[in-house]
Amino acid sequence: MKTPLRNALMAAALAVAASASYADSSVLVKGGWAREMPPGTVNTAAYFSLLNHSAKARVLIGVSSDIAEHTALHTTKEVDGVMRMQPVEQILIPSHGMASLAPGGDHLMLLGLDDRLVVGEDVELTLEFENGDVQRISLPVKRGSAASSASDSAHKHND
Ligand SMILES: [Cu+2]
């Protein structure tokens, strides 16, 4: 037999479920691009901004791509007066905030490409988040400035 109290509890439970699924809505990707590769190179970098409109922080833990042998999340830090790239395990996208991957800062490395990327192509990437979500994105290939190209393309990958 249903009681008014039981109905009220049921309604509250449904409301919680609805707000939880809203909080898990996907992250928006804005303004992304991958760097055109000079002839003879096998590595490049990709950049994009991640917007999180949900009430929970989101964490990017990895990116995969069919065209790269490996990918790596990097940040850029000054060490002894020299800007160096360092691997990072994850990139946090705060609740109602954003994370920007941009030249000179955090970025995605695409390593060991068979074919060099040129302007006019698109790169398909799969973003992997800590909560288990995966999100496919497509970024155009663009030519970077000479200055930022030097810092990101000079990257040496050893493993
Ligand atoms: Cu790098």
CA of 25 to the centre of ligand 1 (A): 29
CA of 41 to the centre of ligand 1 (A): 14
Q: What is the rounded CA–CA span in Å between residue 146 and residue 159?
A: 27
pLDDT, residue 103, reads 94
CA of 109 to the centre of ligand 1 (A): 5
CA of 4 to the centre of ligand 1 (A): 60
pLDDT in tens, 43-80: 999 999 999 999 999 999 999 999 999 999 999 999 99
pLDDT in tens, 106-138: 999 999 999 999 999 999 999 999 999 999 999
Strand partners, 71: 110
82 exposed, middle or buried (CB, 10 Å; 0-12, 13-18, 19+)? exposed
Question: Quick one: tokens of 125?
Answer: 């990437």
pLDDT in tens, 8-27: 666 655 555 444 444 445 79
CA of 100 to the centre of ligand 1 (A): 14
Residues 6+ apart with CB under 8 A from 49: 29, 30, 31, 32, 98, 99, 100, 101, 102
pLDDT, residue 145, reads 75
Domains of the chain listed by start with CATH number:
26-153 (2.60.40.1890)
pLDDT, residue 109, reads 98
CA of 129 to the centre of ligand 1 (A): 20
